[in-house]
Structure 1
Amino acid sequence: MIERGSPVPSVRIKLVGADGATDTTSDAVLGSGIVAFFSVPGAFTPTCHVNHLPGYLANLGKLNAAGVDKVVCASVNDHHVMKAWAEASGALGKIEFIADGNGELAEAVGLAKDFSGSGMGKRFARASILFRNGKADAVFVEDGPGVNASGAPAMLMALETANG
Structure 2
Amino acid sequence: MSVSKGDTLPSSTLRELTENGPEQVSTDDIFKGRRVVLFAVPGAFTPTCSINHLPTYLENRDAILSRGVDEIAVVAVNDPFVMGGWAKATGGEGKIRYLSDADGSFTKALGMDLDMSGPGLGLRSKRYSMLVEDGKVKELNVEDNPGEATVSAAATILGQL
| TM-score, with structure 1 as normaliser | 0.92
Superposed structure 1 runs of 4+ greater than 6 Å apart: none
| Partner residue in 1 for 2:90 | 89
Deviations 1:34-91 (A, max 9, x none): 1000000000000001111111001001101111110000000000000000000010
Q: 1: CA distance between counterparts of 2:19 and 2:59?
A: 20
Q: 2: CA distance between counterparts of 1:81 and 1:21?
A: 11
Partner-residue secondary structure (3-state), 1:15: strand
Letter in 2 for 1:43: A
Contact 1:34–1:130 at 8 Å: present in 2 too?
yes
Please report how far the alpha carbon of residue 18 of structure 1 lies from its aligned counterpart in structure 2 after TM superposition. Answer: 4.8
Q: Structure 1 vs Structure 2: percent identity of aligned residues?
A: 38
| Partner residue in 1 for 2:158 | 156
Letter in 1 for 2:45: F
Please report how far the alpha carbon of residue 19 of structure 1 lies from its aligned counterpart in structure 2 after TM superposition. Answer: 4.6
Give the structure with the higher percent helix. 1
| Partner residue in 2 for 1:64 | 65
Q: 1: CA distance between counterparts of 2:17 and 2:60?
A: 21
Question: Aligned-pair RMSD on alpha carbons?
Answer: 1.2
Partner-residue secondary structure (3-state), 1:149: coil
Q: 2: CA distance between counterparts of 1:73 and 1:16?
A: 13
How many residue pairs end up in the alignment?
Answer: 159
Please, which runs of 5 or more residues in structure 2 have no aligned partner?
Answer: none
| Partner residue in 2 for 1:34 | 35
Please report how far the alpha carbon of residue 8 of structure 1 lies from its aligned counterpart in structure 2 after TM superposition. Answer: 1.7
Contact 1:17–1:96 at 8 Å: present in 2 too?
no
| Partner residue in 1 for 2:76 | 75
Contact 1:31–1:131 at 8 Å: present in 2 too?
no
Please, which runs of 5 or more residues in structure 1 have no aligned partner?
Answer: 160-164
Whether 2:152 is the aligned partner of 1:129: answer no
Q: 2: CA distance between counterparts of 1:29 and 1:15?
A: 12
Please report how far the alpha carbon of residue 31 of structure 1 lies from its aligned counterpart in structure 2 after TM superposition. Answer: 2.7
Please report how far the alpha carbon of residue 109 of structure 1 lies from its aligned counterpart in structure 2 after TM superposition. Answer: 1.1
